[in-house]
């Protein structure tokens, strides 16, 4: 019998819905709400609750109830739950007169009851929210290890059976011995987790291993000059960890780390460099072969190499981008992602003795923004990362800073990937950065008209780290900073008339924040500066603060001195329009005001805010953050003495979980432009992959 896909039948049901006249308006409205939850938002449990409410309503139209009962089954089937069978049986039992629903329920029951041909299904593994990042499934399928951000950037374990979480590492932000963790990977016996750790004390990257009780050891530590080491998979025999090591040139080498000795055995130096999001590899269950993606960033192919060494051979060569390989638990197949302009598809390919034994076959379409994390006897685990960034404007009362209307998205396509808006000093243009494809600066006329586009000439661009797009004082161009994995902090400047770029590497060794002024030949930056040696990571010979840099002479001088015996992190550095004052966030909590003429600084507020901005007259400061009892997105207006003049909740204008940042007050005082971000990680398990 030919296999039938659930999404085909959902489409068929939609056509039936359009053809049926309904009399119970309230039930129909609920049904539409259910469809929105099911197909629009992917919240299957919420959709089931709505459909069950319709079915339980004795006064509801039976046609609507039949559709609701059928969709209960469809939702359960998508979740991989056996309750789908009972739901379909109730359609046959209670709604015999509704032929379309009965027909589809009968077909689904037939497919589900065929033990030798199970349908591919997808289950959401984590329902608790967005704060479990980069997660992976334990070998027994009962736990997820991911990264959590409440007190620091720590490894956390979520138990699917008890619905409880446990913090494995306990590093705290801004502590002298703090560090950050990422890329958690389970051992094959499920008793330990290996992960990347960046140490704040020496700036070096290492692999740490922790038990579920939090007992931690260092397995491998980079030497000075090496940048990263990233774990990707623990071998099935437990003896090795497949990892990527990034050297001082910025390129990654695939290799194996000995679990016993901590040594790194290099297998292949790749063409990856910088922050390479699709860096991926997988080791065969017998430990003999590694499949990996390599090539230019948008022209990746799959290769295979023997773990004893040798020259890689092509596994799959295709004009499209191919990456994210996973080896099946029995070693008989490799799954991977193929990315084209029109679609992102998961394929599989049969393997025999380390070689392809056939042509790639389709597993699942619609895999955009997905990272494949592991393949076990339970199925393929993958993470869907949704990161929607929009730019909005809202009218302001120029005297008070109070919103005078609802926020409206700017008129620009594509949406969902635009960041860092900034008004020109004459108010005639809006600049921002679009990361929909290759990152570019966009200059948009404020009164409408054609946008200008300038591709950003760096291979090491990382959108989440960019917060300081700023106009030059004479409106001739814009500048911003990035962090290069090989050069540290780099400041870029674009001349919007000629389209020419310039850049300067700063002596801070890490990321910074900048603003341009008081003229087009200087900018302010934040960081630690070495006072004696070229090694600016030497805290004994470094001073923290804000510095003014002259691009003509290459000289810089201190304008704000941090306390050298404490952690120094300065964000949101921004000039007043007359360039006589600076505001910034110190250590993520202190909203600062610095008078550049007197050198006097003061703390205006000690809560956590995002990037602040001055009013056009320089007499007020506006900051974005979480406001009100429900901690929803909002803005606060301060006097220069730190008094809260106004506080406004914008939460009702956006979906739950949205944050707002990068505000900029227009020169005429009537408009505020800002960024919204809605970020969510969803972890799924795909069952019956090979059917």
> For the domain that residue 570 is a member of, what is the CATH number?
2.120.10.30
Let me know: does 310 contact 355? Beta carbons within 8 Å.
no
Mean pLDDT of 567-594: 90
Please report, in angstroms and rounded to a whole number, the separation of the first and last CA atoms in the chain.
Answer: 14
Across residues 631-636, what is the average pLDDT? Answer: 86
In this predicted structure, the answer to whether residue 138 has a pLDDT above a threshold of 70 is yes
Give a yes or no: residue 620 inside a domain.
yes
Q: Is the pLDDT of residue 582 over 90?
A: yes
- On average, the pLDDT of the chain sits at 86
As for how many domains the chain has, the answer is: 2
Choosing from 67, 92, 118, the residue where a domain stops is 118
* CA atoms of 279 and 230, how far apart (whole Å): 10
Predicted confidence at residue 2, as pLDDT, reads: 33
Q: Residue 40 has what pLDDT?
A: 76
* Of 7, 260, 233, residue with least CA distance to 121: 7
Separation CA 355–CA 77 (nearest Å): 35
Is residue 513 very low, low, confident or very high in pLDDT (cuts 50, 70, 90)?
Answer: very high
User: Does the pLDDT of residue 532 top 60, yes or no?
Assistant: no
Distance CA 301, CA 321 (A): 7
Under the banding of pLDDT at 50, 70 and 90, the label for residue 549 is very high
Residue 180 included in any domain? no
Domain membership flag for residue 367: no
- Of 230, 143, 137, the closest CA to residue 182 belongs to 230
Q: Which two tokens stand for residue 168?
A: 């494995």
- Summarize the confidence of residues 77-86 as an average pLDDT: 81
Residue at 79 is within a domain: yes
Provide the pLDDT for residue 566: 65
pLDDT of 176 strictly over 80: no
Checking if the pLDDT of 128 tops 60, the result is no
Residue 107 has pLDDT above 50, yes or no: yes
Helix (H, G, I), strand (E, B), or coil: what is residue 31? helix
Q: Is residue 213 part of a domain?
A: no
Q: Is the pLDDT of residue 6 over 60?
A: no
DSSP-derived letter for residue 479 is E
Instruction: Examine the fold and report which residue of 118, 150, 171 is the final residue of a domain before the chain moves on.
Output: 118
Range picked from 89-93, 355-359, 390-394 for highest mean pLDDT: 390-394
Q: Is 176 part of any domain?
A: no
Nearest to 611 by CA among 601, 626, 623: 623
Boundary (domain end) residue, out of 118, 133, 152: 118
Predicted local distance difference test score (pLDDT) of residue 164: 85
For residue 449, the 8-state DSSP code is -
* 18 pLDDT higher than 90: no
pLDDT at position 118: 61
**185, exposed or middle or buried, with CB in 10 Å at 0-12, 13-18, 19+?**
buried
Q: What is the mean pLDDT of residues 322-329?
A: 94
Domain annotation covers residue 356:
no
Contacts 24+ apart (CB under 8 A), 606-612: 609/572, 609/585, 609/636, 610/572, 610/585, 610/659, 610/660, 610/661, 610/662, 610/663, 611/467, 611/571, 611/572, 611/574, 611/585, 611/661, 611/662, 611/663, 612/572, 612/574, 612/583, 612/584, 612/585, 612/663
Encoded tokens for 388: 């929607």
Tell whether the model's pLDDT for residue 21 goes beyond 60. no
Coil vs helix vs strand at 105: helix
Tell me what pLDDT residue 131 has: 66
The enclosing domain of 13 has a CATH number of 1.25.40
Q: Would you place residue 534 in the very low, low, confident or very high pLDDT band (cuts 50, 70, 90)? A: very low
Backbone angles phi, psi at 15, to 5 degrees: -65, -40
Q: Which strand (E) or helix (H) includes residue 316?
A: strand 313-316
Task: For residues 192 and 202, give the distance between their C-alpha atoms in angstroms, rounded to a whole number.
Answer: 25
Looking at the whole model, is its pTM more than 0.85?
no
The share of the chain scoring above pLDDT 70, in percent, equals 91
| DSSP secondary structure code for residue 68 in this structure | H
* Crossing angle of helices 44-56 and 62-78, rounded to 10°: 150
75 within domain boundaries:
yes
Section 49-68 average pLDDT: 92
Domain carrying residue 598:
387-681
Please report the pLDDT score of residue 203 as a whole number: 77
């Amino acid at each position: 019998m030919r296999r039938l896909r659930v999404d085909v039948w959902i489409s068929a049901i939609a056509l039936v819905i359009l053809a049926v006249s309904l009399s119970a308006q309230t039930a129909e409205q609920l049904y539409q709400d259910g469809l929105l939850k099911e197909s629009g938002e992917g919240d299957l449990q919420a959709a089931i609750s709505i459909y069950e409410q319709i079915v339980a309503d004795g006064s509801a139209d039976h046609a609507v109830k039949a559709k609701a009962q059928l969709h209960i089954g469809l939702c359960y089937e998508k979740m991989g739950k056996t309750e789908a069978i009972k739901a379909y049986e109730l359609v046959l039992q209670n709604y015999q007169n509704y032929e379309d629903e009965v027909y589809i329920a009968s077909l689904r029951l037939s497919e589900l009851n065929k033990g030798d041909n199970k349908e591919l299904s997808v289950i959401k593994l984590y329902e608790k929210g967005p704060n479990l990042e980069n997660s992976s499934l334990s070998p027994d399928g009962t736990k997820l290890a991911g990264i959590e951000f409440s007190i620091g950037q720590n490894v956390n374990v979520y138990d699917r059976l008890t619905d409880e979480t446990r913090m494995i590492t306990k590093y705290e932000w801004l502590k002298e011995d703090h560090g950050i963790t990422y890329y958690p990977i389970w051992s094959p016996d499920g008793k330990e987790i290996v992960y990347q750790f960046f140490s704040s004390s020496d700036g070096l990257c290492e692999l740490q291993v922790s038990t579920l009780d939090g007992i931690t050891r260092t397995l491998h530590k980079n030497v000075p000059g090496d940048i990263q080491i990233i774990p990707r998979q623990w071998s099935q025999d437990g003896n090795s960890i497949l990892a990527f090591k990034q050297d001082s040139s910025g390129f990654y080498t695939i290799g194996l780390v000995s679990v016993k000795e901590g040594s790194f055995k290099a297998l292949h130096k790749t063409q990856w460099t910088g922050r390479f999001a699709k860096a991926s590899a997988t080791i065969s269950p017998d430990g003999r072969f590694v499949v990996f993606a390599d090539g230019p960033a948008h022209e990746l192919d799959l290769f295979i190499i023997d773990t004893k060494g040798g020259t890689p051979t092509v596994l799959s060569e295709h004009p499209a981008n191919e990456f994210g390989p996973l080896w099946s638990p029995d070693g008989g197949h490799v799954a991977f992602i193929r990315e084209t302009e029109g679609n992102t598809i998961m394929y599989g390919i049969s393997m025999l003795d380390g070689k392809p034994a056939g042509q790639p076959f389709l597993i699942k379409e619609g895999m955009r923004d997905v990272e494949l994390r592991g393949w076990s006897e339970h199925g393929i685990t993958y993470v869907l990362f949704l990161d929607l960034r929009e730019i909005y404007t809202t009218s302001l009362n120029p005297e008070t800073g109070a919103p005078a209307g609802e926020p409206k998205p700017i008129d620009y396509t594509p949406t969902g990937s635009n960041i860092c808006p900034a008004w020109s000093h004459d108010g005639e243009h809006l600049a921002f950065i679009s990361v929909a494809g290759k990152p570019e600066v966009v200059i948009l006329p404020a009164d409408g008209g054609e946008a200008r586009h300038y591709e950003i000439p760096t291979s090491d661009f990382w959108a989440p780290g960019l917060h300081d797009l700023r106009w030059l004082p004479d409106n001739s161009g814009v500048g911003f900073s990035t962090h290069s994995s090989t050069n540290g902090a780099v400041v870029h400047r674009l001349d919007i008339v000629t389209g020419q770029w310039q850049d300067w590497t700063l002596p801070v060794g890490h990321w910074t924040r900048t603003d341009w002024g008081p003229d087009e030949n200087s900018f302010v930056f934040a960081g630690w500066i070495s006072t004696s040696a070229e090694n600016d990571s030497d805290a004994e010979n470094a001073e923290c603060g804000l510095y003014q840099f002259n691009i003509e002479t290459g000289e810089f001088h201190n304008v704000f001195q941090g306390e050298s015996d404490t952690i120094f992190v300065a964000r949101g550095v921004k000039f007043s329009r007359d360039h006589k004052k600076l505001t910034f966030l110190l250590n993520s909590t202190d909203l600062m005001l610095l008078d550049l003429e007197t050198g006097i600084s003061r703390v205006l507020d000690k809560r956590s805010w995002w990037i602040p901005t001055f009013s056009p007259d320089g007499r007020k400061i506006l900051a974005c953050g979480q406001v009100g009892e429900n901690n929803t997105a909002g803005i606060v207006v301060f006097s220069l003495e730190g008094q809260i003049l106004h506080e406004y909740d914008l939460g009702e204008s956006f979906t739950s979980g949205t944050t707002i940042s990068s505000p900029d007050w227009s020169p005429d005082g009537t408009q505020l432009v800002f960024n919204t971000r809605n970020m969510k990680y969803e972890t799924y398990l795909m069952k019956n992959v090979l059917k």
